[in-house]
Copies of this chain bind each other. A is one copy, B any other.
Amino acid sequence: MIPPRIRRYIDDNRDAHLSRLFELLAIPSIANRDDDGCQRAADWLVTHLRSLGLQARSVATPGKPNVLAASDAAGPSAPTLLVYGHYDVQPPDPLELWHSEPFAPQVRDGAIYARGANDDKGQLFAQLLAVEAWARTGGLPVNLRVLIEGEEEVGSPTLEPFIAAHGAELRADACVLSDSEFFAPGLPSITYALRGLAYFEVFFRGPATDIHSGIHGGAVTNPVNALAAMVAALHDAQGRVTLDGFYDDVRPLADDELAAWRELPFDERAYAAEAGVAELGGGERGLGVLARRWGRPTLDCNGIVGGYTGPGSKTIIPAAASVKISCRLVSDQDPRQVERAMRSFVAAHTPAGIESQVRVYGLARPVMLPRRSPAMQAAAIAYEEGFGRRPAFIRCGASVPVTELFQRLLGLDAVLMGFGLPSDGLHAPNEHFELGQLWGGAATAAAFMGELARGSD
């Protein structure tokens, strides 16, 4: 049970909490802008964390600064919790579609509207409010390590060496981050698996220049046709990826997972509408939609180009064509093994008259977090305290690279404690975050800290 004083601290000072969050939301901290927005947001966070009794500093990186903070006030017998968040936000464009200024936060219809209201300033603030509630009402039950990143929205290009270099400072017994969402309104959710990624571009080069398709058609291998044949061969008739050994290390879906997913309020037609398609498709035949999105690896072309792409016609055999291909991977697939298989596959599907090349743009391992760990159980109890309902355990088809870095570099399984809702408009105009999710999130985060401390008694 969360101490009543914690709940009161959160609920009785809502205006003061909001005005502090609004200060942070008013700072346009966009990682790919060459201005001082990120530094100002980092400085604000350092000041705020110090006001809560933590040792805090902004640390320069080759890109935008990260914020590090720590507290050992709970004493050596208390567990240490690492809290992660990011202060950088997506650019607000297109500005004309916003109903209020993206960096002038306001409350409308029970929700905060601003760029970053949810992702991730709002969700991070729920965690910080939990810290504040404990710190101001008798003291923190856990020791804390805090890492707040400034380049999440641009792919965390400098995070891996940063974590590696600050490993000792970040050592902890548990880890939490709030940068995900409920499966549905009223249904708290903990994400326990994320897909990895292997991203390639394949180049096919034929004639030295575009050549006349009438004069030469039939005598010269066409790079576009050859590339299409290669791409088509990457799937079999059952929708399975044909790369050598692709499924060898895929962990079968557990019966209890599938059973749990069947209980989720998932409506295929509503989902298709959300994805913007008339009909669902793709993936392996014979599997359900959630299994295909969450539990199975995929291969998708992300872009293709070759030859003449202007209006009307041009009668050429193109000199070259290329395709971007990415695989989403699930545990225990190894992206380096996928890279080897892709290189072999492309070589085997490069016909006479074509020179091929494979470029690798990114390899990220899939992440599987233990659903039954003490931290996960503590989180489940905390959600019940904060939102009155046990969370669903779900997977996610996307990647959250920091989760994999924590696991690989620090040996820490993060708890992905999301407070957002699917309709919050992340990365879009009119991003918002419901006040109920903020207050419930802060209570959940506070309860999680209490549960962690209780569990280690």
Contacts and interface: CB of A to CB of B under 8 A. Distances in A.
Nearest to A271: B219
A370 B312 CA distance: 34
A324 B318 CA distance: 11
Contacts of A235: 225, 229
Contact of A302 (B207, B314, B361): B314
Contacts of A315: 197, 199, 302, 326
Contacts of A326: 213, 313, 315
Interface in A152-209: 195, 197, 199, 201, 206-209
Given A228-B227, A308-B302, A315-B326, A220 B275 contact: yes
B324 A282 contact: no
Interface stretch (A114-122, A349-357, A372-380): A349-357
A50 interface: no
A219 B355 CA distance: 33
Contacts of A399: 214
A216 B281 CA distance: 10
B312 A213 contact: no
A283 B221 CA distance: 8
Contacts of A302: 213, 224, 307-308, 313-318
Contact of A212 (B222, B281, B355, B398): B398
A213 B313 contact: no
A214 B353 contact: no
Interface string A437-454: 000000000000000000
A233 B324 CA distance: 21
A312 B323 CA distance: 11
Contacts of A425: none
A211 interface: yes
Contacts of A323: 224, 228
B305 A222 contact: no
B282 A307 contact: no
Contacts of A271: 219
A207 B278 CA distance: 8
Which residue among A220, A276, A298, A362 has the maximum number of chain B CB atoms within 10 Å of its CB?
A: A220
A31 to B, nearest CB: 16
A217 B397 contact: yes
A16 interface: no
Contacts of A317: 300, 302
Contacts of A214: 195, 197, 328, 396-399
Interface stretch (A62-70, A84-92, A99-107, A288-296): A288-296
A235 B229 CA distance: 9
Contacts of A225: 231-232, 234-235, 282, 299-301
